[in-house]
Structure 1
Amino acid sequence: MIVGANLMEDKIQSFRQPLVTATGILLGFILNFMSSWVKSDVPLGDVLAYVVGLCMITGITCLISVLYRVLRMNYPREQGEQYYQRTLRVFMFGVCVAFAGVFIDATLNFWAA
C-alpha cells in the first residue's frame, strides 16, 4: 500500500515520459550531427571548431543530466514543482547551447561555400 501512496505523491510522473522521449530524440540528433561534424573540415579555423565542440559537449552533458533528474525516483517530493522547473531549465539550456553550436557550424559552412 505504501508503494501506491508514493506513486500518488509523485508530482512529476506525468512529465517523465514526454521529457525522456524529447531528450532521447535530441541526443540522437546531436550525436548524429557530431559523427558527421568530426569528419569534416571547419572552414574558418580551429577556434570556431572548439566553440562548436564545446557547445555540443555542453548540450550533451545538460541533456544527460536531464535524463538523470527526470528518471530519478528519490527526488525531494515536497519540492516536486521546483525540481521539475529546474530540470526543465537545464533541458532548455542544453537544447539552446547545442542549437547554437549547430547554427554556428551551418553558418560557417554557408559562408565558406
Structure 2
Amino acid sequence: MTEPTPDMNQDIRDFRQPMVTSLGIILGFLLGFLGQWATNDNGESAIQSRADWVVALTLVAAISMMLLVLYRLLNNRYPLQRAGHYYQHTFQLYMLSIVVAFSGVVAALFV
C-alpha cells in the first residue's frame, strides 16, 4: 500500500476546518429557521399545504446530507491511499447539501 504524500495530507487538513465551520453556521441557521417555523403562535400545525411539505422535506434532506458530510469530515478512518477521492466525494456532497438547503429556503420565501 502506498502512503499518501505529505502534501496531500496537508491539503486535506487545510480544507477540513473551513468546511466544518461553514457547516456549523449553515446548520445553525437551518435549525433556527425550522424551530421558528415549527413554533407558530397560532396553535396550528406548521405544515398545512403541499408547499409546506416541499419546504420541510427539502430542509430535512439538506440537514441529513450536512450531517453525513460532517461525519465524513470528522471520520479519521478513511482509506489513506484514496484520501483525495474520499474528500472529493465529501466535497461534492457538501456542495449538494448547500444547494438543497438554499433551494429549500428560497422555496419557503416564494411559495
Regarding TM over 0.5, the answer is yes
Counterpart of 1:111 in structure 2 is none
Counterpart of 1:27 in structure 2 is 27
Counterpart of 2:72 in structure 1 is 69
Report the CA distance between 1:26 and its aligned residue. 0.6
Partners of 2:81 and 2:15 in 1: how far apart?
16
TM-score (norm 1): 0.79
TM-score (norm 2): 0.81
Instruction: Kindly provide the amino acid, as one letter, of the partner of residue 30 in structure 1.
Output: L
Report the CA distance between 1:46 and its aligned residue. 1.3
**What are the Cα deviations for residues 15-72 of structure 1, in whole angstroms up to 9, with x where unaligned?**
2111110111110011011111223589xx5111111011111000010001100011
Partners of 1:83 and 1:73 in 2: how far apart?
11
1:12 aligned counterpart, secondary structure: helix
| Candidates 97, 100, 105, aligned match of 1:97 | 100
Q: Percent identity?
A: 36
Segments of structure 2 that go 5 or more residues without pairing to the other structure are: none
Instruction: Kindly provide the amino acid, as one letter, of the partner of residue 31 in structure 1.
Output: L
Partners of 1:19 and 1:104 in 2: how far apart?
25
Aligned alpha-carbon RMSD (Å):
2.1
Report the CA distance between 1:12 and its aligned residue. 1.6
Partners of 1:37 and 1:99 in 2: how far apart?
16
User: Deviation above 6 Å: which 4+ runs of structure 1?
Assistant: none
The count of residues paired between Structure 1 and Structure 2 equals 101
